[in-house]
Amino acid sequence: MPPRPIREGLFTSTPQPELIVGRCADCHQPHFPASDFCPYCGADEVGRDTMGATGTLYLHTIVNTAPPGYCGPVPYGFGLVDLPGGLRVVSRLEAPDLALLQKGMAMRLSVAALFEDADANPVSSWCYVPETAEDS
């Protein structure tokens, strides 16, 4: 069985993963996750767009202990990725060696199985990986 997304409406898986963002009709600012109102100006006319196939690592840390409710593997990277178009997103980060993550690294969006649900079905989520890393 193919993995199901951790939540519908967050990302696409094919042909290339992209985040599904909201884009305000008034101020044109993108936001993620998409919502029915603009978090910047409060307008309620928000469309959907995709972006985030690539980005630049802005800030990161390594998480060694699973926070409450997290079912995925540890350790994992966690950080902020700047996307073209001015959006900065919070994301889980994966890399063959998390210690090699550096501010300013080119990153690309990836979708991978994160954990199995109670019925042993895989659940996928988005993450960013260094541009040079192999697919997870």
Q: pLDDT for 51-99, tens place per residue?
A: 999 999 999 999 999 999 999 999 999 999 999 989 999 999 999 999 9
Question: Which pLDDT value is given to residue 133?
Answer: 59
- What does the pLDDT read at residue 136? 43
Please give the model's pTM, rounded to 2 decimal places: 0.91
Q: Is the pLDDT of residue 39 over 70?
A: yes
**Does residue 2 have a pLDDT over 90?**
no
Residues in the chain: 136
| Rounded mean pLDDT, 103-130 | 95
Give the pLDDT of residue 31: 97
